[in-house]
Amino acid sequence: MFKLIRSPLEVIAVLVGIGGVLLLLYAWHLPPFDTSVETTDNAYVKGYVTIVSPQVSGYITDVPVKDYQKVEEGQLIAKIDDRIYVQRLEQAQAALDGQKAALLNSQQQELSARASIASSDAQIDSAKAAEKHAQLSWDRIENLVTKGISTTSDSEAAQAGLDQAKAAVNQAQAALEVSRQNLAAIIVNRASLQAAVSGAEAAVHLADIDLQHTSITAAKAGRLGEVGVRLGQYVAAGTQLVALVPQDVWVIANFKETQLEGMKIGQPVIFTVDSLGHAEMKGRIENFSPAAGSEFAVVKPDNATGNFTKVAQRVGVRVSVDGSQPLSAQLAPGLSVVVSVDTDSVSGESVASK
């Protein structure tokens, strides 16, 4: 072979050719450079980025936080002028007091109606007693008239007294029925009064909720983005004030579909962070995307054409970050990372079974 090489240029050319072949084999992970470690630089740190917005409208009276400040759960971020909402709460409370007073009045009316029923019962007893006395008087007069002892005028007076006593009984019974109907009406109306009280209580709770919403607080501990709200600014419900980023982060690595073989949930992961001087950190595969990334695109590719070209699809792999690492506190959503997975490590459930 060496006899065929006649000059140093030919030696260099041969060496360059061999180097190119070796570089190609290394780039495509072909023998003797095949490896079980799959790597991708299409990976980023992810986290929950929450836009803080008010639920009520008003003028901002206080902004006690600054850009990129760390906040605790429940800490005040901004305060809306609450004078109107305080008055609305007092107004709702007054309406509730009025409805409760109406309900108490209804209960008092029920007691009065029951007392009226008792009085009507007593009047019936009295009228029946008077009717009995008139009946006895009429019976005596009738016997005397039959014997010719009593006069016609006495008979007519006794008859009139008996009729009057019977009418009094009927009147007392009618009065009792009226009292019972009044009681029934009061009890039926009670349901509407109780519903009115419930509605007034709900209005008080809603007014109290609106009043509480004038204090805009952090829903979770984390760090703030740029504070976009200013003192004296008028904000409406849904206005974006500031972004809140909790400390919880993870990594989404988009591997090619040809790289997924052998990957399993629970496998250890090594990743480097560009912003931290390519510092090496550890994590584990937490889950696999249920579909390739192209399936979640707004405009999906249409492969049913004559000029189809096969392209390896990307599948998202969620990687949990080991929180015990000192640098984990410096990870922020959006940072670029390079993720490496050793597919020979045996652990957990493979992507094929998902």
| Whether residue 119 sits in one domain with residue 207 | yes
> So what's the pLDDT on residue 214?
95
Q: Report yes or no on 7 lying in a domain.
A: no
Strand segments, DSSP code E, in the chain are 37-47, 50-52, 58-62, 70-71, 76-80, 215-217, 222-224, 234-235, 242-246, 249-256, 268-273, 279-288, 314-321, 336-342
Ranges of the chain whose pLDDT falls below 50: 1-2, 348-354
Range of the domain at 227: 54-81+214-239
| Whether residue 148 sits in one domain with residue 58 | no
Domains: count for the chain: 3
Spatial distance between the Cα atoms of 185 and 168, rounded to a whole number of angstroms? 26
Spatial distance between the Cα atoms of 341 and 40, rounded to a whole number of angstroms? 9
Last residue of a domain, one of 182, 204, 239: 239
| Whether residue 218 sits in one domain with residue 205 | no
| Whether residue 90 sits in one domain with residue 178 | yes
Q: Exposed, middle or buried by CB within 10 Å (0-12, 13-18, 19+), for 329?
A: exposed
Spatial distance between the Cα atoms of 351 and 354, rounded to a whole number of angstroms? 5
What sign for the dihedral angle of Cα 175, 181, 184, 189?
A: negative
Which CATH number do you get for residue 255? 2.40.30.170
Spatial distance between the Cα atoms of 329 and 337, rounded to a whole number of angstroms? 15
Q: What is the DSSP letter of 298?
A: S
Spatial distance between the Cα atoms of 220 and 330, rounded to a whole number of angstroms? 18
Spatial distance between the Cα atoms of 181 and 167, rounded to a whole number of angstroms? 21
CA distances from 259 to 104, 313, 327 (A): 76, 10, 28
- pLDDT 10s digits, 230-242: 999 999 999 999 9
Cα radius of gyration (the chain):
46
Residue with the two structure tokens 């009792």: 176
Q: Report yes or no on 22 lying in a domain.
A: no
Structure tokens at 62: 């206080």
> So what's the pLDDT on residue 111?
76
Which CATH number do you get for residue 138? 1.10.287.620
Contact, 229 vs 242, CB < 8 A?
yes
Q: Report yes or no on 327 lying in a domain.
A: yes
| Whether residue 296 sits in one domain with residue 226 | no
Residue 306 phi, psi dihedral angles, 5° rounding: -75, -20
Residues in the chain: 354
Q: Exposed, middle or buried by CB within 10 Å (0-12, 13-18, 19+), for 224?
A: buried
- pLDDT 10s digits, 272-287: 999 998 999 999 999 9
| Whether residue 287 sits in one domain with residue 195 | no
Q: Report yes or no on 287 lying in a domain.
A: yes
Strand segments, DSSP code E, in 136-241 are 215-217, 222-224, 234-235
Provide CB contacts within 8 A for 274, sequence distance 6+: 335, 336, 337, 338
Contact, 210 vs 88, CB < 8 A?
yes
